[in-house]
Amino acid sequence: MSAFDAPGTGIAQIDGVEARRRQQAGALLIDVRDDAERALGTPDGAIGMPGERLPREIAALASPEREVLLLCAAGQRSLRAAQALRARGYHRVASVAGGFGRWLAAGLPVQAGALDADAQDRYARQLRLPEVGAAGQARLAAARVALVGAGGLGAPAALYLAAAGVGTLTLIDDDRVERSNLHRQVLHADARVGMAKVESARMTLAALNPKVQIVTRAARVQAANVEMLLGGHDVVIDGADNFPTRYLLAAASLRLRLPLVYGAVERFSGQVSVFDPRRADSPCYRCLFPEPPAAADAPNCAEAGVLGVLPGVIGVLQATEVLKLVLGIGTPLVGRLLLFDALGMRFRELLLPRDAACPGCGAAAHFSGYEDLVRLCTAAG
């Protein structure tokens, strides 16, 4: 039969062929599946509207006099949506029995989803998140992220951003792989000792996700090139291992109005924050560190040591903040400094308000050009 009532509901159920015939005769076909599900495709001519939103927004789509046909994955959600519409005075409502699966089996026309088959399979788990879905995945694919440092912090951040489908990753690092890097810089391998880090990283990331464009810049960030290296990106990750680079990134972030995702580690502790000059309430890096410390106060990893897993934790947190910024979800670490103690396995959060007297973003701050500071080492690598 092409039509029958669902037991106990009073809602008519029709098969896909009948739904297509009524659609062509003027009925409105609505696919009530979530955005992520519709990324796999949807019936030709159908309007996508998740079932939980439909009762609130149906008036903008159809009057109570128009026939409305509802379709989901297998036929259950469309029945519930039909009952909700019936309660709002829509009486010419029917549910498509068997949903999209049976529509496909009947060979009825389908319009392609926003994602190709590879993307649908590769990102299937995050596509199911309402905060991501096909629209969010498209935003990730369009995003351009600059990652300064392909070392301890940059390695985990790059891996997870590539895996998530960030469209373009620009890797900026002038260093070469050393064997002492390998216990924490998981982008690299023993066979690549002596290779440029950006090339080693490119090989690993391309193998993980060939869909992502990897741009390599085997260069040290300096006053003469910082804007050229960072311009045209949406977010910058600070995975640097020295204060001069960090201060250049801080200045360029403000000048280019680019969110800067900061991270640093030493021994068994790390910290993360987000400096977003697009927001009037956001501090900048110099609100945290107004002036570079003396060399004696800033030991590097070779001097102070670092637990290998620690940059992994901090780098993954940085990647998380990047994804939130690109997707526009959650609450970024703006105005907050997240501290991690690996030995105690504790996180602490400190408020980091904008400093009115900050030499970087304060009311009296004056930009007189980028400056190459005397190179100091920190414990970020």
Alpha carbons within 13 angstroms on the beta-carbon side of residue 161 total 42
Contact 46, 103 (CB under 8 A): no
What is the pLDDT, as a whole number, of residue 112?
74
pLDDT value of position 124: 87
Any catalytic annotation for residue 301?
A: yes
Q: What is the pLDDT along the chain (381 residues), one digit of tens a residue?
A: 455 555 556 899 999 999 999 999 999 999 999 876 787 688 999 999 999 999 999 999 999 999 999 999 888 999 999 999 999 999 999 999 999 889 988 999 988 776 777 888 899 899 888 888 877 888 899 899 999 999 999 999 999 999 999 999 999 999 999 999 999 999 999 999 999 999 999 999 999 999 999 999 999 999 999 999 999 999 999 999 889 999 999 999 999 999 999 999 999 999 999 999 999 999 999 999 998 876 666 665 556 789 999 999 999 999 999 999 999 999 999 999 999 999 999 999 999 999 999 999 998 998 988 888 754 444 444
- Predicted confidence at residue 271, as pLDDT, reads 97
Supply the DSSP string of 183-225, one letter for each residue.
TT-TT--GGGTTSBHHHHHHHHHHHH-TTSEEEEE-----TTT
- The one catalytic residue in 72, 284, 287, 301 is 301
pLDDT at residue 296, rounded to an integer: 60
Partners of 336 in beta bridges: 351
Domains and their CATH numbers in the chain? 3-113 (3.40.250.10), 124-351 (3.40.50.720)
Query: Tokens 């935003």 correspond to what residue?
Result: 139
> For 253-258, which contacts have Cβ atoms below 8 Å and span 24 or more sequence positions?
253/277, 253/284, 253/285, 254/284, 254/360, 254/361, 254/367, 255/227, 255/367, 256/227, 256/230, 256/231, 258/230, 258/233, 258/234
- pLDDT at position 303 is 60
18: left (phi over 0), alpha (psi -120 to 50) or beta: alpha
CA pair distance 60, 49, nearest whole angstrom: 11
Non-local (6+) Cβ contacts of 6 within 8 A are 12, 13, 79, 95
> What is residue 295's predicted lDDT score, i.e. its pLDDT?
60
**The pLDDT value given to residue 3:** 53
